[in-house]
Amino acid sequence: METFYQLKKVYFENLGEFHSWDGGKTWNHGGFNRTHLSYFISLAESIRDCEVIETGSGNSTIAFLLANPKKVDSVSPDGELWSRIEEYCKLYQIPTEKLNPIKAKSEWALPSLALDKNTYDIGLIDGCHGWPTAFIDLYYIYFMLRKNGYLIIDDIQLHSIKEMANFVVSEVDKFELVVNLGKTLVFRKLTDELELGEWDQQRYIVERTNEARNFGSRFSLYNNTDKNYQMLGYSSHFVTKSLIFVIRGCAWMLARIQGRFKG
């Protein structure tokens, strides 16, 4: 068996091509580059007996395994992906005894892990990027993440994940942003709380609610069917703001005129 140092060296020279975006015509190593993967390894190595949970599998799975963790629970429903990961690990002699491949959708797997009282030092959210699944991942991974554990959110270029990141960033009593890796953000959990609270305890939701109220748009929705992506009711908001501007301008002009006549 090669040392972990040797395994890491070989790994970075031969990143696994586990993913295909064109139906299997071409294969790639996914969204993480060597900078991301090096950081994941270093982070996991810095934690004694590190326990990892991730939604989505691939090169991040290999990186965490190369940190010699206590365990890696990796959730992905794609059986063929797991076959490719298994073949890769055999080819490059990467130990997999610490790997627990969970071949299921995260929205069903994570609640079971939580009920079994699993806890983790690192949680990576990189599975389904749609709503509400991504937020289900956030809820349960936060629940199982230990105090001072690390939450990793990937693909913030997608609106669904950007909104999640905006929410997490705003929760300054619960999270500290420790590393910005571009499309990937790493937060440290500051509390031993298990839940994220009601809406009126969540700064991002309160601020967005108040913002909508202040602009008179409490009941407006974002119209995704409109080719111009305009907010429903935006025209009325624009007219209202414009009227306020015009009224203030008229009041200023009237004051100037009155002052001139008085002079």
pLDDT band (50, 70, 90) for residue 244: low
**Residue 238 has what DSSP assignment?**
H
pLDDT value for 238:
47
Kindly list the distances between the CA atom of residue 67 and the CA atoms of 114, 137, 233, in Å, as whole numbers in the listed order.
24, 23, 52
Q: Rounded to an integer, what distance in angstroms lies between the CA atom of residue 172 and that of residue 169? A: 7
| pLDDT at residue 155, rounded to an integer | 98
List the domain range (segments joined by +) for residue 249. Answer: 226-262
In DSSP terms, which residues pair with 71 in a beta bridge?
A: 51
Quick one: 140 and 235 in the same domain?
A: no
- Among candidate residues 189, 212, 235, the one where a domain is terminated: 212
81 in any annotated domain: yes
Residue 175 has pLDDT above 80, yes or no: yes
Q: What b/e string do you get for 58-86 counting C-beta neighbours within 10 Å, with b at 16 or more?
A: bbbbbbbbbbebebbbbbbbeeebbebbe
Residue 126 and residue 237 in one domain: no
Is residue 153 domain-shared with residue 233, that is, in the same domain? no
Q: Are residues 190 and 231 in the same domain?
A: no
Please say whether the beta carbons of 144 and 113 come within 8 A: yes
User: What are the beta bridge partners of residue 55?
Assistant: 75, 125
Residues 31 and 54 sit within 8 Å (Cβ to Cβ): no
CB 199 within 8 A of CB 182: no
Within a domain: residue 221? no
- Tell me the two tokens of residue 197: 């609270």
139 and 204 assigned to the same domain? yes
pLDDT at 258 over 90: no
Report residue 212's pLDDT band, with 50, 70 and 90 as the boundaries.
confident
Same domain as 181, residue 97: yes
Indicate whether 193 and 81 sit together in one domain: yes
pLDDT score of 213: 86
pLDDT in tens, 11-36: 999 999 999 999 999 999 999 999 99
On whether residue 220 sits in a domain, the answer given is no
Tens of pLDDT, residue by residue over 114-158, are 999 999 999 999 999 999 999 999 999 999 999 999 999 999 999
Quick: pLDDT tens for 57-76: 999 999 999 999 999 999 99
Task: Kindly state the helix (H) or strand (E) to which residue 177 belongs, with its residue range.
Answer: strand 175-180
pLDDT for 249: 57
Same domain, 17 and 48: yes
Which percentage of the chain shows pLDDT scores above 90? 78
Same domain, 193 and 252: no
Which residues is 99 bridged to in the sheet? 72
pLDDT, averaged across the chain? 89
**pLDDT at residue 219 in the model:** 79
Q: What is the pLDDT of residue 216?
A: 75
CB 125 within 8 A of CB 136: no
